[in-house]
A and B are shown apart, each in its own frame.
Chain A
Amino acid sequence: MVPLSWYIVLSAVVFSIGVIGFLTRRNLIIAFISIELMLNSVNISLVAFSHYLQSIKGQIMVFLVIAVAAAEAVVGLAILIALFRNKPTVNVDEINLLKG
């Protein structure tokens, strides 16, 4: 039986990888993948707690997160493609139209 703390640590590690990836990488697609990592690390901890507490609520939450992640990927990739048509790059540093 794997203790709960292992799952928590795994979740924290994956989340940290996601955060670091999001902050350091310049490629937008990598940034998306990092966000997915963060979302899934949350999923790991949700499922772990669900099992630990013998409650189905955590798993329900996971489905919600998966759905949101899917929707986010759809919208994000659509924006990316629209952006790419106007500006042939996926480098986030060059996408700075919001600069004040």
Chain B
Amino acid sequence: MLKYTLIPLLPLIAFVINILFGRNYIKDKAHWIAVPAVLGSFVLSVSVFMDVYAGNVINLNLYTWIVSGNFNVPIGFLIDQLTATMLIVVTSISSLIFIYSIGYMHGDKGYHRFFAYLSLFVFSMLILVMANNFLLLYFGWEAVGLCSYFLIGFWFEKKSAADAGKKAFIVNRFGDFGFGLGVILVFLTFGSLEYVEVFANTGSVLGQTMNILGYEVDTITVICLLLFCGAVGKSAQVPLHVWLPDAMEGPTPVSALIHAATMVTAGVFMVARCSPLFNLSPDAMTVVAVVGGITAIFAASIGLVQNDIKRIIAYSTVSQLGYMFLALGMGAYTTAIFHLYTHAYFKALLFLGSGSVIHALHNEMNIQKMGGLKKYMPVTYWTFLIASLSISGIPGLAGFFSKDEILWRAYTGGDLGKFLWVLAIVSAFMTAFYSFRLIYLTFHGKFRGTHEQEHHLHESPPVMTIPLIFLALGAVGAGWVGIPPLLMDHGDKIGEFLAPVLGHPKGEGTHSEELFVMGLSVLIGLAGIFTAFIMYLKKTDLPYKVGSAFQPVYKLLYNKYWVDELYYKTIVKPALIASDKIFLGFFDGRLIEGVVNGIPNLIGSLGQRLRKIQTGVLSHYGIIMALGALVIIGVMIFIK
């Protein structure tokens, strides 16, 4: 029991120590607190994973958090196969990124603050995945959002970073509002927030409807859609994807840990966790699948033309999250979690690799001003290449197995599935293309930056490259636990491991179809790489020609479909005007200021008049006293 408690508690202790004593006492030794704490969590997680692997699933209530009538919420952990998998992903990636941060953040004046927030984030994320009820999940959910806000705006002196932090927080509010309503509706419907009780009673709620604005709607569908709102916000799906690319204003390790590998996958985790609910609502599943499919191709197409190294990877993250939701919507929860797990490694690697590049170039992020870094930074180059091959779906690497499985699940998912499969195949091509566009522009060709930058080019220190190497091992090998049965009997170990919680994916197909899907996805990946090779290494004037030939399309993609501008015009601006005129001008200026200033003004003017009574002449006081005494005597006589 102590073991389970310590997993989230260690990072929390590290946070408390660093935030209280960091500024004055610990300073640049903050990592001596944070890194052992998260490593400790990792070791404990491995041991918990072993327990669960041996079949030891635990639902543990530690403490009664809230009791009010029949509303009863404990602080408790549910450690099953899904949680165990997530624990491994979160703690292993965090450990590597913590170590990497020692090098990347070296000399930053907020060094202790950085490690404090990172520790708090790990604590929140662990609570999120370990929770055994919806309210604790919600706590973790909001806490990771808070940490994300802190860390995006970590360099808060920079206006763009502070703005990006606010944007992430506010955009997430939209989704979390729905999520909060969903949690409330779960309680109203089931009378409990604990997973075990809710999921055990789904049968009794099946077919129940509720009245919304005159329409009779299936209650479970409403719950699922509201919960999915939260997932759309947190996992940056269309239409709430706008915050994630801007979140790249934060330090690169943060982008890797929070905005690629762990926090943004919380939505995927949550939907998988609520799979017993989603299974009962085909409508909600369709919405999930369609949103995922659209996001996959939408974000990938934007990624094709961006020039900021971190933003390209950010759009790639959005797109890969779209894949995960596509799989969830197809009912292939195990596949989604499998992709979540492989994606965490190669995406963290891509981000840390880009961090290494940015570090070497002194905060240059425009890939048009890079090039030829291969010979200066061999470790970064090779690990980055492995991650890119993995994300492009080259056979044998982690990304291949999970992505291929998603494509296969989409292919076997009926007519809608076939349509989404086409979207996914097109985005797979785009993914391979932009990943290698990034590689060729960054690491190949001639260096296009300034001479001074070229002079300072160097490989990053070992404290940064060693985590890269470990993550590269993950990007290669993480997929080997999910080899499809077609290629190897009992190869899909992770699917079998997760099946008790998430069930087996539906959908049947012949071996030849499966081979066709697999072969096509590999070919598409290779075609994407080859196209990038032609355009950015062989005929380097081609990108410009293509860009000017398809000017409107290029502009549309380059400006990210003008979604930000649309939101600015339709939501931000009206909100600003309303705040300024109605809330600030009328409510605050007139109403509140009026009441707050009116009362003292009234008392003051009354006092001005009343003070004249005090003449300071002694005989006046005497007369008033005498008259007063007479009145009292008179009253006493006549009342009697």
Contact = CB atoms under 8 A, between A and B. Distances in A.
B617 A93 contact: yes
A100 B623 contact: no
A64 interface: no
Nearest to B618: A92
A31 B621 CA distance: 13
Contact of A31 (B611, B615, B618): B618
Nearest to A99: B616
Contacts of A96: 615-617
A19 B622 CA distance: 8
Contacts of B610: 100
Interface in A74-100: 92-93, 95-100
Which of A24, A92, A97 has the most CB atoms of chain B within a 10 A radius of its CB? Answer: A92
A16 B125 CA distance: 89
Contact of B611 (A28, A93, A95, A100): A100
Contacts of B626: 19, 23
A96 B620 CA distance: 11
A24 B622 CA distance: 10
Given A19-B626, A23-B623, A23-B626, A99 B614 contact: yes
B24 interface: no
B611 A23 contact: no
B204 interface: no
A16 to B, nearest CB: 10
B616 A97 contact: yes
B617 A92 contact: yes
Contacts of A26: 619
A23 B616 contact: no
Nearest to A35: B622
Interface residues of B, number: 13
A98 B622 contact: no
B612 interface: yes
Nearest to A24: B619
Nearest to B614: A100
Contacts of A97: 616
Contacts of A31: 618
Nearest to A92: B618
Nearest to B610: A100
Contacts of A100: 610-616
Contact of B622 (A22, A28, A95, A99): A22
Interface in A8-58: 19, 22-24, 26, 28, 31
Contacts of B614: 98-100
A26 to B, nearest CB: 8
A92 B619 contact: yes
Contacts of B618: 28, 31, 92-93, 95
A37 to B, nearest CB: 13
B384 to A, nearest CB: 82
Nearest to A93: B617
B615 A99 contact: yes
Contacts of B611: 100
A99 B614 CA distance: 5
B271 to A, nearest CB: 73
A99 B611 CA distance: 8
Contacts of A99: 614-617
Which of A23, A26, A96 has the most CB atoms of chain B within a 10 A radius of its CB? Answer: A23
A98 B623 CA distance: 17
A97 B611 CA distance: 13
B70 to A, nearest CB: 62
A29 to B, nearest CB: 13
B621 to A, nearest CB: 9
A96 B619 CA distance: 11
B600 to A, nearest CB: 19
Contacts of B623: 23
Interface string B231-266: 000000000000000000000000000000000000
A97 B617 CA distance: 9
B613 to A, nearest CB: 7
Interface in B514-557: none
B619 A23 contact: yes
Contacts of B615: 96, 99-100
A23 B553 CA distance: 100
B625 to A, nearest CB: 9
A95 B612 CA distance: 16
Interface in B582-640: 610-619, 622-623, 626
Given A19-B626, A23-B626, A98 B616 contact: yes
Contacts of A24: 619
Nearest to B626: A19
Contacts of A28: 618
Contacts of A93: 617-618
13 contacts: A22-B619, A23-B622, A23-B626, A24-B619, A26-B619, A92-B617, A92-B619, A93-B617, A95-B618, A96-B615, A98-B614, A99-B615, A100-B610
Given A95-B616, A100-B611, 13 more contacts: A19-B622, A24-B619, A28-B618, A31-B618, A92-B617, A92-B619, A96-B615, A96-B616, A98-B616, A99-B616, A99-B617, A100-B610, A100-B616
Interface of B: 610-619, 622-623, 626
The 3 closest A-B pairs by CB, nearest first: A99-B616, A96-B616, A100-B614
